[in-house]
Amino acid sequence: MRVGLGYDVHKFQEGRKLVLGGVEIPYVKGLAGHSDADALIHALIDAILGAAGLGDIGEHFPDIDMAYKGIESSVLLSKVLDMIKGKFAVNNIDCIIVAQQPKLSPYKDKIKKRLADLLNIDEKRVNVKAKTEEGLGFTGKEEGIKAYVIVSLKELSVDMDN
């Protein structure tokens, strides 16, 4: 078993869609970024890469590469899952989305289902929590959103030399 922790943050920007966990959330602002700025999937990607010992999202999908401009983060997640295919399988994930606004509780089940579909795992292996920061910090002041994800990977083949 391997464990990885991912974190991502994006500030709000006018004129963009808000996408979290591959789900579009109705809100007056979206998140700024090179891709669709899905902070939750970015944190998930970093968690998977970390658990697999494969670096981080910026190494594989740099924000200076125009090939990733405006790309859906679910496409990047698919590429990461291809990287670990045959070596690791996602066992479970636990996610925290931190946002003062919008209220995310009504979308947690939809996000959970979308992530389970993207990862090809049972929904019971996906947990999504939404938190506020009681008005504190940049998220509390409604300047952006951050996400944390922890993932456990099952090792499919063990290399006894490492």
Task: Give the pLDDT means over successive 10-residue stretches in the chain (162 positions).
Answer: 97 97 97 95 98 95 84 96 97 98 97 98 98 94 97 82 52
* 60 annotated among ligand-binding-site residues: no
- Domain ranges (residues) in the chain: 2-155
How far apart are the C-alpha atoms of 104 and 99, rounded to whole Å?
A: 8
* 57 annotated among ligand-binding-site residues: yes
* 117 annotated among ligand-binding-site residues: no
Q: Which CATH superfamily is domain 2-155 in?
A: 2-C-methyl-D-erythritol 2,4-cyclodiphosphate synthase (3.30.1330.50)
How far apart are the C-alpha atoms of 90 and 44, rounded to whole Å?
A: 11
* 73 annotated among ligand-binding-site residues: no
* 122 annotated among ligand-binding-site residues: no
Percent of all residues in the chain with a pLDDT value above 70, rounded to a whole number: 97
* 61 annotated among ligand-binding-site residues: yes
* 46 annotated among ligand-binding-site residues: no
* 84 annotated among ligand-binding-site residues: no
127 contacts 133 by C-beta, under 8 angstroms:
no
* 42 annotated among ligand-binding-site residues: yes
* 38 annotated among ligand-binding-site residues: no
How far apart are the C-alpha atoms of 69 and 49, rounded to whole Å?
A: 21
CA 56 centroid distance within chain: 12
What is the model's pLDDT at position 93? 98
* 138 annotated among ligand-binding-site residues: yes
